[in-house]
């Protein structure tokens, strides 16, 4: 009997020691991730369906859109040199990992899986078909901006307005930015007005957007939350159309 | 005739496509979004209504190991019978050529054309009721009956070789499997070549290398190659040009497979002996063709070696892996999961889901869908099969429960507000599920968010219904629109909407009578109410306690709403679900899954208590956790 108790105690102490050890290791690992912050080399491509993320991925990686694309079902991870740098002979540049996350509402939550190691986020929207789907785009942008793992590490975001090759059919970057700011402003008051059943167990508290007192703008968000949000024109189907996105990627993942 | 065939990755990169007719609309993306991503992939075909009229049928095949999807599109009216087989063979043939970094496969066109022709001819042959077609089915390819070389049964033997590969694994002296029919994953062309040769020869035709070296002795009867070359030349001249073209891309298919190729050489209707002789000749000709072109030979050898390796691996791994498999642990980490590997884990999961009150039908469909997405996957080393399956189920459940429609009602209300019209929500459901109570909770929540609410009493059927709402309205200090009983609820709702507009109300909540899904007159009345008023949101209120019945209720509600709508373009089905009495069910959260999967509508609110404040959103993660714990 006593022996059993002793044994139980013994195993309990071993357990405690193990737990402590594991905890220290975990703390170190976390610290490392935390401190290295934007030192990771992963850049996420997110945005609604048909925005052109997969097309952009191919253009960035291979300098070609190949045969084209269909709706994505799973995220694609691509590691390597940017095509333009490869062509330019800058092979010493730091490799980049790009992750194309499908826009379908049922799977776009996978962003969470990659958020922890993201050094930058490219949010792609379709400038041509923007108006009918602006709410969908805004909702998704809201989710990305309020994702704790991104906000905490102040991961910069680029709003890339794609399909700018379509001339007057495409809305301007400024127009799109303003519409999205307005939508986001409204969503701040409507989202999260209802609690969850089962208790909020979703990877930490959602981050706030902008300053509560003033209307939401990317500028005020950057000022108050320290998350750099910039805009860019994009034409994923053209080799020359991805320059601004490439510049953003290089800024997020220094060579 | 097919309209379109394509191959793409699950990541969304198109790898290969062939259009016979330009596609109308966007059937491929619709298939992906409305079926493959909805965990309905266990169904075998998908219909796409072409906007300009007509319907496409889409079929698909998955290669989960490589993450590839193969899709065929054709006019639904055609009822093509060979599509499944074609896709399977396309899957096999393409998969051996696939290399992850490569996104263009122009050379695959020819291979596909051959597969297609083959499948079409086989289907055609099966339809023609002539005697040779009904020739004895060969139970075992090793029997190799000479007359079997006619296109119909020759093909059959090749299929045989494919399906029970291990039974048919002749190994030549140099240790290579001759013709790689034994290798299931091998290129279709090889499989055919091997089996075709088997069907032809009295002696077994060894692998390509050997043939080349032997040169002079090959094929039945020990005739010299030279003689055959002469005859082959003749035949070649007679043969139709397209046949020649088709052959260029073929490697193994050249051995003995040529008989299937073209019309003039199709002796399926001739007598058996004639067919044998001619086919033998064709066989020889093919060999010569191979000798002529070294590069094909090389390619063939490569594939052959690959086949040999695979076969060897299967042989070696056989005992050990079958033992390991019984433990349910994948040690080697290279073997693709088969259906029988995952079956036990699936059964456990199905049982678990049903214990959590998921309707059996839904549990079946979900596990089946998971099966189609896991089969063929390769596991990482030391991963338990059950872990992999569990993970796949978790992902699937999360996908299913994640709303694809915005559930931010407040935002929609604000939009309507900006347009100066009231936003209307109709609550429907069977009796006694808590419609009125939860309607009151929603009213309370809206009020808290500074929104002006009005309630319309459109349950003009059950006595006491109006009084019940009156009490709520009194407590919440909300205006009630009522016209007593025995009135047409559709009209009451209509008038209420007008009154709300006049009073500057933001949201109109419409309470309706509870009705059983089979009550025809009441279902008509409901459909009428919805069609007349075109509400912004139709919410189905259902109890979290229900099991199998939830599916029936939702299906029938949606069905009746769809059928009874006079104008299909205006039809309004259930937009969202209010799950009530969630506090009474513990971990039996299965109804949430059943309802969402059945209707495709998200759970907008969860009622979880007796007071006004007990209204919440569904937390997908925690529901998935409860379902699987
Ligand atoms: N004109 C034009 N079309 C583009 C451009 N970029 C993409 N597209 C087209 O937009 C469509 C959708 O592109 P995808 O890259 O598949 O979109 P996605 O964002 O990956 O979509 P999901 O995978 O569904 O999330 C394709 O037909 C592209 O050809 C562009 O810069 N200009
Ligand atoms: Mg994509």
Last residue of a domain, one of B344, B373, B401: B401
pTM: 0.68
Domain assignment present for residue B182? The answer is: no
A244 CA to centre of own chain: 17
The residue written with tokens 């678990």 in the block is B352
- In angstroms, what is the span from residue A147 Cα to ligand 1's centroid? 25
Q: Which ligand is nearest to the CA of A55?
A: 1
Domain membership of residue B377 (yes or no) is yes
* pLDDT band of B358, cuts 50, 70, 90: very high
Does some domain include residue B80?
yes
Q: Which of B105-119, B125-139, B164-178 has the least mean pLDDT? A: B164-178
- Whether A191 sits inside 8 A of B406 (CB atoms) is no
| Domain boundary residue, one of B83, B102, B124 | B124
The verdict on B403 touching A (C-beta cutoff 8 Å) is yes
Interchain proximity B445–A194, CB inside 8 Å: yes
CATH code of residue B394 = 1.20.120
Do residue B621 and residue A198 have CB atoms under 8 angstroms apart?
Answer: yes
Nearest to B27 by CA among B60, B57, B62, B69: B57
Q: Determine contact: A168 vs chain B, CB below 8 A.
A: no
CB B178 within 8 Å of CB B172: yes
- Closest by CA to B617, choosing from B400, B398, B407, B358, is B407
Whether A240 has its CB under 8 Å from any CB of chain B: the answer is: no
Task: Work out the minimum CA distance from A42 to partner chain B, whole angstroms.
Answer: 17
Residue closest to A160 by CA, chosen among A81, A66, A5, A46? A46
Range name among B33-42, B106-115, B353-362 with the lowest pLDDT average = B33-42
Q: Which of B29, B408, B605 sits opposite A70 (nearest CB)?
A: B29
Task: Tell me what pLDDT residue B317 has.
Answer: 46
A61 CA distance to ligand 1 middle (Å): 16
Same-domain status, B423 and B478: yes
Whether residues B472 and B379 share a domain: the answer is no
Separation of CA A209 and ligand 1 centre (Å): 29
CA distance B520 to chain A (A): 35
pLDDT tens profile B375-408: 888 877 777 888 888 888 888 999 899 888 788 8
Bigger pLDDT: B547 or B340?
B340
Check whether B236 has a pLDDT greater than 50. Answer: no
Contacts B405 to A, Cβ<8 Å: 105
Residue B256 lies in a domain: no
Q: Can you tell me the distance from the alpha carbon of B382 to that of B388, in angstroms, rounded to the nearest whole number? A: 11
Considering only CB atoms, A193 lies closest to which of B11, B403, B410, namely B410
> CB-based contact (8 Å) between A189 and chain B?
yes
Percent of chain B with pLDDT over 70: 66
Q: A121: exposed, middle or buried (C-beta count within 10 Å: 0-12, 13-18, 19+)?
A: buried
A70 closest CB neighbour out of B14, B617, B623 = B14
Q: Is the pLDDT of residue B289 over 60?
A: no
Residue B245: its H or E element: helix B241-248
Please tell me the number of the ligand nearest to residue B29's CA: 1
B76 and B117 share one domain: yes
Contacts of B9 in chain A (CB under 8 A): 76
Q: Is the pLDDT of residue B19 over 50?
A: yes
Checking if the pLDDT of B232 tops 60, the result is no
Ligand 2: distance of its center to the CA of A75 in Å? 8
A109 in contact with chain B, both atoms CB, cutoff 8 A? yes
Q: Which two tokens stand for residue B49?
A: 């209504």
Of B96, B45, B110, the closest CA to residue B73 belongs to B45
Which of chain A's residues have a Cβ under 8 Å away from the Cβ of B441? none
Q: Are A159 and A194 in contact (CB under 8 A)?
A: no
Q: Which two tokens stand for residue B319?
A: 């005992």
CB contact under 8 A, A201 and B622: yes
Looking at chain B from residue 549 to 578, which residues have their Cβ under 8 Å from any Cβ of chain A? Answer: none
Query: What's the farthest any 2 CA atoms get from each other in chain A?
Result: 85
Cβ–Cβ gap B411/A74 under 8 Å: no
If asked whether residues B384 and B425 sit together in one domain, one would say no
Query: With contacts defined as CB-CB under 8 Å, which chain B residues touch A190?
Result: 408, 410-411, 414, 449
Distance B181 CA to ligand 1 centre (A): 41
Task: Report CA-CA distances (Å) from B327 to A202, B251, B324, B376, B628.
Answer: 35, 41, 5, 19, 22
Tell me the chain B residues in contact with residue A197 when contact means C-beta distances shorter than 8 Å: 582, 606, 608, 616-619, 622
How do beta strands A42-46 and A118-126 pair?
A: parallel
In a domain? residue B197: no
Q: How far is A101 from chain B (nearest CA, A)?
A: 9
**Chain B interface, best mutation among A49, A71, A136, by max B CB count within 10 A:** A71
Do B68 and B118 share a domain, yes or no?
A: yes
Nearest CA in chain B to A68: B14
d(CA A248, CA A136): 24
Domain boundary among B124, B158, B193: B124
Helices (H), B449-575: 465-476, 489-502, 520-533, 548-563
B192 falls within a domain: no
Best residue in B5, B11, B576, B592 for a mutation probing chain A (most A CBs within 10 Å)? B11
Of A52, A123, A169, A240, the one to substitute when testing ligand 1's pocket (max ligand atoms within 8 A of C-beta) is A52
Task: Compare CB distances from A186 to B29, B411, B616 and report the shortest one's residue.
Answer: B411
Q: Which residue has the CA at smallest separation from atom 8 of ligand 1?
A: A52
Please check the confidence at residue B479 and state whether its pLDDT lies above 90.
yes
When pLDDT is cut at 50, 70 and 90, the band that residue B311 belongs to is very low
Distance from CA of B392 to the nearest CA of A (A): 13
Q: Is B445 on the interface with A (CB under 8 A)?
A: yes
Whether B595 and B463 map to the same domain: the answer is yes
- Range of B340's domain? 301-401
What ipTM describes this predicted complex?
Answer: 0.82
Asked if residue B423 and residue B393 are part of one domain, the reply reads: no
Dist CA B86 CA B182 (whole Å): 20
Say whether residue B8 is in contact with chain A using an 8 A CB cutoff: yes
Among protein residues, the one whose CA lies closest to atom 1 of ligand 1: A163
The residue written with tokens 């949000």 in the block is: A229
In the three-class reduction of DSSP (H, G, I as helix; E, B as strand; rest coil), residue B377 is classed as coil
**Number of domains within chain B:** 3
CA of A52: which chain B residue's CA is closest? B12
Residue nearest to atom 14 of ligand 1 (CA): A52
In angstroms, rounded to a whole number, what is the distance separating the alpha carbons of residues A252 and A38? 7
- Residues B428, B558 within the same domain: yes
Comparing CA positions, the residue from B358, B320, B370 lying closest to residue B591 is B358
Q: Are B178 and B193 in contact (CB under 8 A)?
A: no
Q: Are residues B460 and B557 in the same domain?
A: yes
Shared domain for B578 and B460, answered yes or no, is: yes
CA nearest ligand 1 atom 11, residue: A50
Structural domain includes residue B443: yes
Q: How far apart are CA A32 and CA A26, in angstroms?
A: 10
Q: Indicate whether B96 belongs to any domain.
A: yes
Select from A67, A74, A102 the Cβ nearest to the Cβ of B103: A67
Out of A34-38, A194-198, B455-459, B527-531, pick the least confident: A34-38
Comparing CB atoms, the residue among B12, B400, B406 nearest residue A135 is B406
Measure the CA–CA gap between B121 and A62, rounded to whole angstroms: 40
pLDDT of the residue at A190: 82
Q: How far apart are CA B110 and CA B187, in angstroms?
A: 14
The verdict on B28 touching A (C-beta cutoff 8 Å) is yes
**Chain-chain contact of B402 with A66 (C-beta, under 8 angstroms):** no
**Nearest CB to B619; choose among A54, A74, A198:** A198
* Residue B82 clears pLDDT 70, i.e. is over it: yes
Residue list, ligand 1 pocket, CB within 6 Å: A 47, 49-55, 68-69, 71-72, 102-104, 162-163, 165-166, 235-237; B 12
- Calculate mean pLDDT across residues B295-306: 36
What is the pLDDT at residue B397?
92
The one-digit pLDDT tens for each residue of chain A (255 residues) are 555 555 655 566 676 777 777 777 776 665 555 544 445 889 999 999 999 999 999 999 888 888 999 999 999 999 888 887 777 766 667 888 999 999 998 888 888 889 999 999 999 999 999 999 999 999 999 999 988 889 889 999 999 999 999 989 999 999 999 999 999 998 888 876 676 665 444 445 777 888 888 889 999 899 888 899 999 999 999 888 999 999 999 898 887
Atom of ligand 1 nearest to the CA of A103: 25
Number of H helices, E strands in chain A: 9, 6
Which is higher by pLDDT, A84 or B456? Answer: B456
Residue B40 contacts A where some CB pair is shorter than 8 Å: no
Size of interface A-B (CB pairs under 8 A): 134
Residue B517 belongs to domain with CATH number: 3.40.50.300
Using the beta-carbon criterion (under 8 Å), do A105 and B8 form an inter-chain contact? no
Residues B181, B158: Cα–Cα separation, whole Å: 7
Q: How far apart are the first and last CA of chain B?
A: 49
Q: What is the average per-residue pLDDT within B315-324?
A: 49
Query: Cβ contact (<8 Å) for A197 and B103?
Result: no
- B520 shares its domain with B536: yes
pLDDT greater at residue B565 or residue B323: B565
Q: What is the mean pLDDT of residues B303-330?
A: 46
Give yes or no: residues B84 and B22 share one domain: yes
How confident is the model at residue B308, as a pLDDT?
Answer: 41
């Amino acid at each position: 009997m006593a022996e059993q108790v002793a044994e139980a105690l013994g195993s309990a102490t071993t357990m405690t020691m193990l737990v402590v050890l594991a905890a220290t290791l975990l703390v170190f690992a976390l610290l490392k991730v935390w401190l290295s912050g934007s030192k990771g080399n992963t850049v996420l491509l997110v945005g609604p369906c048909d925005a052109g993320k997969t097309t952009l991925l191919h253009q960035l990686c291979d300098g070609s859109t190949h045969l084209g694309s269909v709706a994505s079902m799973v995220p694609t991870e691509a590691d390597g040199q940017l095509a333009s740098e490869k062509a330019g002979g800058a092979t010493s540049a730091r490799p980049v990992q790009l992750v194309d996350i499908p826009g379908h509402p049922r799977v776009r939550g996978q962003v969470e899986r990659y958020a922890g190691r993201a050094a930058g986020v490219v949010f792609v929207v379709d400038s041509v078909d923007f108006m009918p789907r602006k709410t969908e785009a805004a909702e998704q942008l809201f989710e990305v901006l309020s994702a704790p793992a991104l906000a905490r590490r102040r991961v910069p975001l680029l709003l890339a307005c794609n399909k700018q090759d379509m001339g007057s059919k495409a809305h301007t970057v400024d127009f799109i930015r303003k519409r999205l700011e307005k939508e986001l402003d409204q969503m701040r008051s409507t989202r999260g007005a209802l609690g969850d059943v089962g208790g909020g167990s979703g990877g930490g508290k959602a981050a706030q957007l902008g300053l509560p007192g003033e209307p939401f703008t990317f500028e005020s968000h950057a000022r108050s939350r320290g998350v750099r949000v910039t805009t860019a024109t994009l034409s994923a189907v053209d080799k020359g159309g991805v320059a601004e996105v490439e510049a953003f990627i290089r800024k997020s993942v220094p060579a | 005739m097919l309209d379109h065939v394509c191959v793409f990755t699950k990541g969304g990169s198109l790898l290969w496509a062939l259009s016979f007719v330009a596609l109308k609309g966007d059937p491929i993306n619709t298939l992906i979004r409305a079926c493959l991503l909805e965990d309905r992939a266990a169904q075998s075909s998908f219909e796409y209504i072409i906007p300009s009229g007509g319907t496409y049928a889409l079929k698909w095949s998955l290669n989960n190991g490589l993450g590839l999807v193969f899709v065929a599109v054709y006019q639904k009216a055609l009822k093509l019978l060979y599509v499944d087989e074609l896709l399977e063979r396309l899957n096999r043939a393409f998969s051996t050529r696939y290399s992850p970094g490569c996104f263009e496969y122009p050379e695959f066109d020819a291979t596909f054309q051959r597969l297609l022709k083959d499948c079409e001819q086989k289907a055609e042959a099966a339809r023609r009721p002539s005697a040779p077609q009904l020739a004895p089915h060969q139970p075992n390819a090793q029997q190799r009956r000479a007359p079997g070389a006619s296109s119909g049964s020759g093909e059959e033997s090749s299929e045989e070789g494919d399906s029970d590969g291990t039974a048919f694994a002749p190994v030549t002296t140099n240790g290579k499997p001759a013709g790689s029919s034994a290798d299931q994953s091998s290129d279709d062309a090889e499989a055919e070549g091997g089996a075709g040769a088997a069907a032809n020869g009295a002696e077994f035709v060894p692998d390509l290398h050997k043939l080349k070296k032997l040169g002079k002795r090959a094929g039945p009867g020990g005739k010299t190659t030279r003689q055959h070359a002469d005859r082959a030349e003749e035949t070649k001249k007679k043969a139709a040009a397209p046949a020649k073209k088709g052959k260029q891309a073929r490697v193994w298919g050249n051995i003995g497979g040529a008989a299937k190729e073209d019309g003039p050489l199709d002796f399926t209707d001739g007598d058996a002996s004639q067919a044998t002789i001619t086919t033998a000749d064709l066989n020889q000709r093919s060999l010569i063709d191979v000798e002529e072109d070294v590069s094909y030979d090389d390619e063939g050898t490569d594939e052959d070696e690959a086949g040999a390796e695979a076969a060897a691996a299967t042989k070696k791994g056989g005992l050990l892996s079958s033992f390991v498999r019984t433990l349910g642990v994948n040690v080697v980490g290279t073997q693709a999961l088969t259906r029988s590997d995952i079956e036990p884990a699936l059964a456990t999961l199905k049982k678990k889901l049903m214990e959590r009150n998921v309707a059996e039908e839904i549990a079946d469909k979900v596990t089946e869908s998971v099966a189609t997405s896991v089969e063929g996957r390769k596991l990482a080393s030391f991963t338990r099969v059950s872990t992999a399956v569990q993970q796949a189920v978790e992902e699937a459940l999360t996908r299913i429960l994640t709303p694809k429609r915005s559930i931010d009602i407040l935002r929609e209300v604000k939009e309507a507000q900006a347009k100066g019209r009231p936003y209307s929500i109709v609550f429907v459901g069977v009796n006694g599920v808590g419609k009125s109570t939860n309607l009151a909770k929603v009213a309370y929540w809206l009020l808290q968010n500074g929104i002006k609410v009005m309630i319309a009493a459109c349950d003009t059927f059950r006595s006491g219904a109006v009084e019940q709402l009156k009490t709520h309205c009194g407590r919440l200090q909300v205006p009630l629109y009522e016209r007593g009983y025995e009135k047409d609820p559709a009209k009451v709702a209509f008038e209420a909407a007008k009154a709300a507009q006049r009073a500057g109300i933001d949201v109109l909540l419409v309470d309706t009578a509870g009705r059983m899904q089979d009550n025809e007159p009441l279902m008509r009345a409901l459909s009428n109410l919805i069609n007349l008023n075109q509400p912004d949101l139709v919410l189905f209120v259902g109890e979290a306690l229900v099991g199998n019945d939830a599916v029936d209720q939702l299906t029938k509600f949606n069905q009746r709403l769809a059928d009874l709508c006079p104008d299909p373009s205006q039809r309004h089905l259930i937009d969202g679900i209010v799950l009530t009495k969630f506090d009474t069910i513990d971990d039996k959260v299965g109804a949430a899954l059943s309802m969402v999967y059945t209707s495709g509508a998200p759970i907008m609110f969860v009622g979880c208590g007796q007071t006004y404040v007990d209204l919440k959103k569904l937390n997908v993660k925690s529901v998935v956790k409860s379902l699987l714990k």
